[in-house]
Amino acid sequence: MQKRNNLIALAALWLLPSAHALSPEAMSILSKKNRRLEAPPKALRASEASVDLRYASGRSRLAATPTPEPSMELESVPVTSPTDYGSLGSSGFSFDSSGRDKSERVFGMGFMSAGAYGVFGAEVDFALLEEWTFGFGVGTGMDFSSWGVHSRYVMRKAALSPFVELGYANWRLGKVSERTSDALPSYLARRFFEPKEGGGVTSSTAHILYPGIGVSYMFPSGMTLVGQAQYMVQLRDFSGGLTGSAGLYYYF
């Protein structure tokens, strides 16, 4: 009985290949006669991560491959160097989410020193058009408060971008400061808050219009340095003076 079962099992194994015969196309693909590449060297093991050996073997096998006939359409896959991938196990593949193009960052906020805000100001700037940005901010001249709005025309969309600016600033003296010598910057305050005889000032509010020119430099992180020169003009009597400002922004 045991011998009979063994004979049946052997017969089934002998008939199995014929039951699952491959198609002519599959047989042609698996045939050794149709190989285009030489067999890999015996020293190459799938269990060993020898990148240099795999690279050298791939180049030699590809060089020994005969040129295919024009009628055959084969896809060519280049063999790349191990240095293209960095060291194994290290951070060779990195994704920098901060390296966005400047045109993709349309809203910025930061701090300005001097200029349209007197001594110090906080400002926002946002792009509504391709070359135009608009912004506003508030600040202080220590003895007076200030606020302003501006518009900038960016001459070039790049990391280093020159621009021209037109803005309006409002300076207003507080109750504790009736002496213009206390207001900073003093050389502008003496012009914009003109003292009157007997103490006090002729006007506690200065309406200022200013053109300016400047340059900004944006780092890949979005942090931006801004420097500019402005000519401040008091609209009451058109007295004016040259000033400058510097600031630090972060653009989103």
**124: domain CATH number?**
2.40.160.20
pLDDT in tens, 170-199: 998 876 445 545 566 777 877 787 766 655
DSSP state of 41: P
Confidence of residue 9 (pLDDT cuts 50, 70, 90): low
| Cα 143 from Cα 197, distance rounded (Å) | 20
247 within a domain of the structure (yes/no): yes
85 within a domain of the structure (yes/no): no
Domain that holds residue 140: 106-251
Confidence of residue 84 (pLDDT cuts 50, 70, 90): low
111 within a domain of the structure (yes/no): yes
225 within a domain of the structure (yes/no): yes
**Residue 65: per-residue pLDDT:** 65
**Residue 88: per-residue pLDDT:** 45
Confidence of residue 43 (pLDDT cuts 50, 70, 90): low
**Residue 102: per-residue pLDDT:** 60
User: Does residue 185 have a cis bond before it (omega within 30 degrees)?
Assistant: yes
100 within a domain of the structure (yes/no): no
Mean local confidence (pLDDT), 95-102: 50
Pairwise pLDDT comparison (36 vs 128), residue with the higher score: 128
Chain-wide mean pLDDT for the chain? 75
Amino acid identity at 244: G
Question: What is the token pair recorded at 241?
Answer: 């003076």
pLDDT in tens, 136-151: 999 998 778 999 999 9
Whole-number percent of the chain with pLDDT over 70: 58
pTM of the predicted structure, to 2 decimals? 0.56
70, pLDDT greater than 70: no
203 within a domain of the structure (yes/no): yes
95 within a domain of the structure (yes/no): no
73 within a domain of the structure (yes/no): no
Question: What is the token pair recorded at 112?
Answer: 């300005």
Chain-centre distance of CA 16, in angstroms? 62
Altogether, the residues listed in the chain come to a count of 252
The count of structural domains within the chain is: 1
